[in-house]
A and B are shown apart, each in its own frame.
Chain A
C-alpha cells in the first residue's frame, strides 16, 4: 500500500478523535499523540481495504517511535499483498 494512502488513514483517525493531522513524518508518535489503539485501528482499516489479515511480529512493533516508522511498518507489511 502507498505511504500516502496509509497516512490518509492515520489522519482520518486523528481527525475523528479531534486531533491535528500529521504533517511531518519525522515527528514521534508520542508527540503527535498517535496511540497504540490508533495503530491497531490503522491496521484494521488497512486489513479491511486489502481483504486480508496482516501478521505482525511484536518485536518489530516495539521499534516504532516515529510516524515514519509507522508508515515504513505498514508499507512493508502490505508489500506483495
Chain B
C-alpha cells in the first residue's frame, strides 16, 4: 500500500469497486468517508470494525447542499483534513441510444457527471486552502474508445477525463493532483449485464487474456492518490491491454 494516514472520500463506497477501495484504504490506516443512496450491511460492518475512522452518510450526489454538508462533516470528523477524493459513484448503461429513454439519460448525466463535479468543486476548495490534495476519477476505457450500447455512459466518462485535464491545469500549481483511472471491462455489477459469450469475446481480445478485478484497479488508485508520484492530468488504463 502506498496510501496511508490520509483522510479520504470515496463516492459510492457501499458496494462493488467502491466498497473494495474503502475497505482496503481503511485496512491501511486511512480515515475514509463514503456516501451512497442507501445503507448496506457491508457499510454497517465497516462502521463496527473501524469506528471513528469510517464515516458513511446516505446522500444524493446531485444535492448541492447535501454534498457540501457531507464534505464539511468529513473535515470536522477527520481533524479538518481532506487529502484525497475518489470519484467512483456511477451507473452503467446497456442500450443503444435510440432505445434509451430520456429519464435514463438524465440519471446517467446526474450521477456520472453532475455528482462528481459537485463533489470535486467542494473538495478542491478545501485542498486549495491546505495546499495539497489528490483527486482521482474512476473513468473508463469507454471514455476514449467506442463501444455500442454505452453512448451516454461513454460520454459521461469522457467528460471525467476532459474535466480532469482542465482541472489539473487550474489547480496543479496549488499542489493538487488530478488524474483518472480508466478500467476496461472488469468483473462488476455493471459488466454482469453482459452475456457469457460477450465476456469471452472481450477476454479473447484482451492481450492479458483476463478481465481486471477490483484489486487490480484499486492498486493503481492507491498509487495515484498516494501523493508519491508527480503524475498530473493523466488517464491511466487498467484494461489488460485491450486499448493498446
Q: Which residues of A contact B (CB under 8 A)?
A: 16, 35, 37, 40-41, 44-45, 48
C-alpha gap A48/B129 in the complex (Å):
10
Which residues of chain B come closer than 8 Å to A41, judged between CB atoms? Answer: 128-129, 174
CA A41 – CA B125 in complex, angstroms? 8
- Pair B173/A45 contact, Cβ less than 8 Å: no
Whether B128 and A44, one on each chain, are in contact in the complex, defined by CB atoms closer than 8 angstroms, is yes
- A11 vs B129: C-alpha distance when bound (angstroms): 14
CB contacts (< 8 Å) of B125 on chain A: these are 44
Chain A residue at minimum C-beta to C-beta distance from B173: A37
The minimal Cβ–Cβ distance linking B170 to chain A, given in whole angstroms, is 8
Q: Which of B128, B131, B170 has the most CB of A within 10 A?
A: B128
Q: Return chain A residues, CB-CB under 8 Å to B174.
A: 37, 41
Query: Main SS of chain B's interface residues?
Result: helix
CA distance A35 to B125 in the complex (A): 16
**Contact status B129-A44, CB under 8 Å:** yes
B171, CB-defined interface residue at 8 Å: yes
Could you say which residues of chain B place their CB within 8 Å of the CB of A48? 129
Closest CB-CB distance, B74 to chain A, in whole Å?
16
Chain A nearest CB: distance from B205 CB in Å? Answer: 44
Residues of B within 8 A of A40 (CB): 128
Contact in complex: B129, A45 (CB < 8 Å): yes
Chain B: minimal CB distance from A25 (Å): 25
Across the interface, name the chain A residue whose C-beta is closest to B131. Answer: A16
Shortest distance in angstroms between A14's beta carbon and chain B's nearest beta carbon?
14
Q: List 14 A-B contacts (CB under 8 A).
A: A16-B131, A35-B173, A37-B170, A37-B171, A37-B173, A37-B174, A41-B128, A41-B129, A41-B174, A44-B125, A44-B128, A44-B129, A45-B129, A48-B129
- For residue B173, which residues in chain A have a CB less than 8 angstroms away from its CB? 35, 37
A37 to B174: give the CA distance in the assembly, Å. 7
